[in-house]
Structure 1
Amino acid sequence: MIPYGRQSVDQADIDAVLAVLQSDWLTQGPTIDAFEQAVAARCEAAFGVAVCNATAALHIACLAAGLGPGDWLWTSPNTFLASANCGRYCGADVDFVDIDPQTWNLDVEALAGKLQVAQAMGRLPKVVVAVAFSGQSCDMRQLAELAERYAFTVIEDASHAVGARYAGRPVGCGEFAAMTVFSFHPVKIITSAEGGMVLTNRPELADRLRRLRSHGMTRDPQQMSEASHGPWYYQQVELGFNYRMTDLQAALGLSQLKKLDGFVQRRQYLAARYQQLLQDLPLTLPKAQADAQSAWHLYVVRLQLDGLQRSHRQVFEGLREAGIGVNLHYIPVHLQPYYQALGFAQGDFPEAEHYYAEAISLPIYPGLSDSEQDYVVQQVRRWIQEPSIS
């Protein structure tokens, strides 16, 4: 089976993890600091705070932004559950903004209109989670302008976009978002087996993020309510969580980071090759967002079903039968039973629903060979063009 995504781990990565296993630190040690500093430097950000996964990163980013009961978080319905669930973890209400029919990212024009209505109703969001779907940012420049006008915090969920660029700068630099979240899951651009990170340029946010990932605890005398009892002393100053990354994970992530440029270049090559090989088929291919250079975590096509003799499901299952591990990113979040119980319904966000009815994620990862990609294209062509398969 050719998977839709896969990690690329080499001997250097294995050696980096073994070095930590043979060291004095396995959990919260110096390799985490090195990983945080290296990612922040790579992205031109001031601070990086590593955590156990990107869901945890989104959660503490929302808390650091002050999100809580009575507040609203808005995000795209075309995303993984965590982009919305992070608001619910904070006790906030969640709403969605439909997607741009061209880029499949959050539609910033629709956001602008929805903000005008929300302002009149007194229900403006406190946080907007802007998802960099498939590896490219949405219109972050306009989003930042709206954030200033309507006084909400932008958190860029760049789980797909490590190594991507926007407006000539690395995603995560902090020019257009207060905080940026990365994922290091195995199918992402680089991996730490599991893991995530929040980047920010604001020292007060970085301090709070570090407390929140470790039980709300501090050893900094300036953050304590009384004088230290001695060098052993710490205080819990707020309710936090055990969201810590281990040095083992950080060692793998730090080693992978050295290969980031090569990984992204290979993904860009494969995406360009798909664009060329699939252009004559009844498919809607990905389009570039203005100012954005994608890291190509995903390569999604949409079936032009009016011109096909097969259904979306038939094409999907046919490709699976052919040994291609296609997937579908994503089921619109508002259609999940949990969110329908909160009042969302079919028809609320028609662009995202239309997208869902047509989308298929094709394999893309650095280890995908040209010949394997040729086979994927051959099977896509077969299943959408041939009237019958014997």
Structure 2
Amino acid sequence: MQIPFHKPYITEDEINEVVDSLKKGWITMGYKTIEFENRFKEYIGSKNAVAVNSCTAGLHLALRAIGLKEGDEVIVPTITFVATAEVVNYFKAKPVLVDVEKDTHLIDVSKIEEKITPKTKAIIPVHYSGQPADMDEILEIAKKYNLFVIEDAAHSLPAWYKGRIVGIIGDITAFSFYATKTLATGEGGMVTTDNDEWADKIRILRLHGISKDAWKRYSKEGSWEYDVLDNGYKYNMTDINAALGLAQLKKLQWMWEKRIKIANTYNQTFKNYEELILYKVKDNRITSWHLYPLKLNLKVLRIDRNRFVEELKARGIGTSVHFIPLYRFSYYRNQGFTPGAYPNSEWVFQRVVSLPIFPGMKKEEIDYIIENIVDLVKKFKR
């Protein structure tokens, strides 16, 4: 049996929406993109939703909106995809790394204040695997030091923190619709905020800094004339991507419930084995279960995480590791970041593996994964 780490759930609904765009002849940003934005902000409950071509673009534009400048500092967790820190570097600003909690892999709020300096401008909490970070504590720290909070919600559609949906909690939130995400448009992202001024700025910046509604210039409502208001980027979504998003949004609840069921099935078995450490979801959180991170108890195993991944691969089971901590990359090592400064992140990285958890998984595939993991930990138990 061959089971990929992830497979997007694509049906005739997505195909029909894309074909509709092709038949209408409007395939770049247009009416479907605007419709997707409207449907998304209704779902989240935010005043504004701005579609972009990636979460990376969304985070970049969010930092432009708050006025990040060269020499500023932005706090980010050590365990995240490189894009979270990368966008800070775009400004010649400095990402400041903070260690994570061992059990949740979320930024450790108890370690944030010691990293704040007069140059600190913002905090970017990452909702790892779909579980929201400790937002009340983060917002309290931000208020105390007059900082902005930009949520990296690449994993968190849908997710809730103390009854509030992710997307309306911080100052600005960026979502990802990459191929492996809980809503997949191939490439794509969305920025949500209740700040109209920031939203307007992001709309302008996503399309070369051209004046508002410039995308209409080839339609009957538009004009060939436009103005350039700012130095912008080519970050707009296309109607083909938005068509996929519209279809996916309609089944978002169903896909989420399928992932919950898979996670619960994994948990029910793996909790019985001391060789395995379950991922902790805090009582006041509801996670999207974008990822299912499982850790190995290396004290009782004769196998490390890398070997474990290879053994599963040999049995046809695709896995991944989320994530290689930022300080382990050459670029960040060259800036002086070292593993010894982040002991929790190192502990997590040496043990964690992400298992397949996607809506189209069949029962026999889930059972096969469980059977082989149990077999491996029994085989390599000390």
Distance between the aligned counterparts of 1:48 and 1:296, measured in 2?
Answer: 23
Distance in 1 (alpha carbons) for counterparts of 2:333 and 2:302: 32
Is residue 17–residue 247 contact of structure 2 (8 Å, CA) maintained in 1?
A: yes
Cα deviations across residues 192-242 of structure 1 (Å, max 9, x unaligned)?
111011001110010010111011111489xxxxxxxx9543221221101
1:83 and 2:56 matched = no
CA distance in 1, matches of 2:232, 2:327: 28
| Partner residue, 1:245 | 237
* C-alpha displacement of 1:387: 4.0
CA distance, structure 2, for counterparts of residue 204 and residue 303 of structure 1: 47
How many residues align? The count is 372
Q: After TM superposition, where is structure 1 displaced by more than 3 Å over at least 4 residues in a row? A: 112-115
Contact 1:128 1:155 in 2 (8 A): yes
The farther-off stretch of 285-294 and 212-221 is: 212-221
Equivalent residue letter for 2:289: W
Report the equivalent of 2:292. 299
Whole-Å Cα distance in 1 between the matches of residues 212 and 128 of structure 2?
38
Q: Give the aligned partner of residue 286 of structure 1.
A: 279
Q: Distance in 1 between matches of 2:4 and 2:55?
A: 22
Match of 2:96 in 1: 95
| SS, match of residue 282 in structure 2 | coil
**1:137 and 2:132 equivalent?**
yes
Q: Distance in 1 between matches of 2:110 and 2:380?
A: 40
Distance 1:249 1:48 in 2: 15
Give the match's secondary structure for 1:22. helix
Alignment partner of 1:330 is 2:327: no
**Counterpart residue identity of residue 277, structure 1:** T
Correspondent of 1:127 among 122, 130, 150: 122
Tell me how far apart the structure 2 counterparts of residues 3 and 15 of structure 1 sit (CA, whole Å): 26
AA matched with 1:100: E
| C-alpha distance in structure 1 between counterparts of 2:23 and 2:279, whole Å | 45
Aligned partner of 1:215 in structure 2 is 208
2:265 aligned with 1:270, yes or no? no
- In structure 1, distance between residues paired with 2:303 and 2:98: 31
Name the counterpart of 1:179: 172
Aligned residues of 1:135 and 1:158 also touching (Cα < 8 A): yes
TM superposition shift of 1:177? 0.5
The alignment status of 1:346 with 2:339, answered yes or no, reads yes
Say whether residues 1:69 and 2:70 are aligned partners.
Answer: yes
CA distance in 2, matches of 1:183, 1:6: 16
In the alignment, which of 352, 356, 360 is matched to residue 367 of structure 1? 360
| Amino acid aligned to 1:235 | D
Kindly provide the CA deviation profile for residues 149-178 of structure 1, in whole angstroms up to 9, marking residues without a partner as x: 111111110000111111212211x2x311
Q: Deviations over 1:128-187 (max 9, x none)?
A: 111010011111111111111111111110000111111212211x2x311111111111
Residue of structure 2 in register with 1:226 after alignment: none
Structure 1 Cα separation of the partners of residues 302 and 212 of structure 2: 65
Q: CA-to-partner distance for each residue in 1:40-93, whole Å, 9 max, x for gaps? A: 110111111111111111111111111120101111111100010010012211
Please show how residues 161-200 of structure 1 align to structure 2 within 5 Å: 161-172=156-167, 174=168, 176-200=169-193
**1 CA distance for matches of 2:328 and 2:272?**
33
Give the counterpart letter for 1:363 in structure 2.
P
1:225-240 equivalence runs, <5 A: 231-240=223-232
Contact 1:48 1:200 in 2 (8 A): yes
- Residue among 299, 311, 316 paired with 2:304: 311
Which ranges of structure 1 fall in alignment gaps of 5 or more residues? Answer: 222-229
For 1:1-20, list aligned pairs within 5 A.
1-20=2-21
Q: Which amino acid aligns with 1:127?
A: A
Matched, 1:258 2:250: yes
Distance in 1 separating the partners of 2:282 and 2:91? 31
Distance in 1 of aligned mates of 2:172 and 2:254? 26
The letter of the residue matching 1:241 is Y
1:250-275 deviations in whole A, cap 9, x for unaligned? 01101100000001111111111111
Gaps of 5+ in 2: 215-221
Q: 1:20 to 1:93 in 2, by over 3 A?
A: same
Once the two structures are aligned, what percentage of the paired residues are identical? 36
1-side partners of 2:38 and 2:205: how far apart? 19
Q: TM-score, normalised by structure 2?
A: 0.94
Amino acid at match of 2:136: R
2:371 to 364, 375, 378: 378
Residue 10 of structure 2 aligns with an amino acid whose one-letter code is V
Paired residue secondary structure (2:100): coil
Query: Would the aligned equivalents of 2:203 and 2:212 in 1 still touch at CA under 8 Å?
Result: no
Aligned equivalent of 2:218: none
